[in-house]
Structures are given as C-alpha cells and as structure tokens.
Amino acid sequence: MLLKDKVVIVTGGSRGIGRGIAVECARQGADVVINYARDPAGAAGVSPAQEVVAEIEALGRRAVAVKGDVADPATAQALVDAAVAHFGGVDVAVANAGVCAFHDFLGMPPELLRETIGINLEGTYFLAQAAGRRMQEQGRGGAIIAISSISALVGGEFQTHYTPTKAGQRSLMQSCAIALGRYGIRCNSVLPGTIVTDINRDDLTPEKTTYFNQRIPLGRLGQPHDIAGPVVFLASDLARYVTGAEILVDGGLYVNLQ
C-alpha cells in the first residue's frame, strides 16, 4: 500500500496506460480522479470511465470520473476541484492524456499540430500548474508526473508534431522540479517505449510486432501495467528524494537503437 490514503489525478485515465496507472494507484491504496475526453458506452452500455470507476471501487477505494479537454485550462482546475470536493485534496497528479496521429511532415495540417501541442504539452502544463497551486496551499508536498515517451529522445518521420511535445513534457518537469521544490513538490517524467494500447493496436501488425520483439532486449512489447509500477514509485515516499528525473520504461529498446 505505497499510496495509502493518497489522492491521485490521472488524465486520460479511462483507457490504455492511464487506466493501468489509475487502477494500480488504487491497488496501492489511493483514491483516484479519472479524466476522460470522449467516453462512448460499449456493447454492455457501460463506458470505459465507468468501468474504471467500478474496478477501483471493487478494490475498496473511491473514484470519480470527470469529463474534459485537457487542452483547456479549466479542465485542470475542474479535476483539482473534484479531488478536493470528493476526497479532500490532491497528493499526486499524473499528466497522461495524449494523442499521436501519424502524419507526414510536409503535409502536416496546422490544426493537427496545434491539437497535438494543446493536448500533450499544454495539457501537462495546465495540470501541473493547477495541482501545484493546490499542493502549495495544502503545505504537505506532493508529486507531479508526466507520461512522456521514448520519442522525447529519438526522432520519428511521421511524428514531427508529436516528438517535440514529448520532449517538452520532459523539459517541463525539470523546470517544475526547480519551481516547486521549495514546497516539497516533486516533478518527474516517465518515458514509455512501445506500449500496446487502443491508440496503436491496429498499427502494430504482426510484422511490426516481430520487429520490435527482436529489437527490444526483454523480447516483448510493453503493456500498460508496465508503466504503472514506475509511476507508483515516483508518486510514493520511496521516491521522496527524486525530482527532476526521468525513468525510461522501454524494455531496453532505446539502448539497442544506439
């Protein structure tokens, strides 16, 4: 129970990596505020956000789902307000929400560029700012974690709009570590490698999967729960002297690309 009685906000928490993080935080004793942007009901009439809330409650913890576009600063404040109203405060904020629509560079629509920057980078900024203000007021410190990417360290032919936002998240956490350290607020980033989620599942053909499995020293693609563990560590008191740092969680892919 590394996060016993902590209150955690997870943006993009209804699917993929965000869902894995939200559930693992609850398993470690936290109450969770889940953010989602679009959440259509599935075949059983239950939306992914409702499923996550039910899964967390089945673990004996509390959860609430809040709809909102993270590119809008009002959403960050709404998430903090929900955490305070339902659970009494905020201890951890995880900026996980992100988009990555592959597109060639020369034909990149300005609208797609702005959307990607808005969600990935500005969304992280607004959450860190809103959560940081509340944590300062509470006076008991806290942890802010950005889910960046291995793409912060390498280029991508069809990701020229995406990789800069991931590098920006990494840089933002370094700067926030300096700006918020005096309040006992730790700011770090996690850089996932190739993780199988709803976003990329269709793109991971058998050929691509074989390629990655051969390049990844651990011999497999990542799963959302592989990212959740490092996030819990950074959120917990075990990482009480860790700030401005990053954890690359990629099965060794990056070192094998060098």
Question: Is the distance from CB of 256 to CB of 216 less than 8 angstroms?
Answer: yes
DSSP 106: T
Distance CA(47)–CA(12), nearest Å, equals 14
Distance CA(204)–CA(201), nearest Å, equals 5
Q: Which residue has the tokens 């992280």?
A: 124
Q: Which residue has the tokens 């990482």?
A: 239
**Identified catalytic residue from 148, 166, 189, 236:** 166
Q: Is 236 a catalytic residue?
A: no
Cα 242 to chain centroid distance, Å, stands at 18
Cβ atoms < 10 Å from Cβ of 178: 11
Q: What angle do CA 184, 118, 101 make, to 5 degrees?
A: 120
Question: Is the distance from CB of 170 to CB of 152 less than 8 angstroms?
Answer: yes
**Identified catalytic residue from 149, 151, 189, 236:** 149
Q: Is 208 a catalytic residue?
A: no
Q: How far is CA 158 from CA 161, 194, 241, in A?
A: 8, 15, 37
Q: Which residue has the tokens 């607004």?
A: 126
Q: Is 149 a catalytic residue?
A: yes
Cα 177 to chain centroid distance, Å, stands at 17
**Identified catalytic residue from 14, 148, 151, 162:** 162
Active site residues: 149, 162, 166
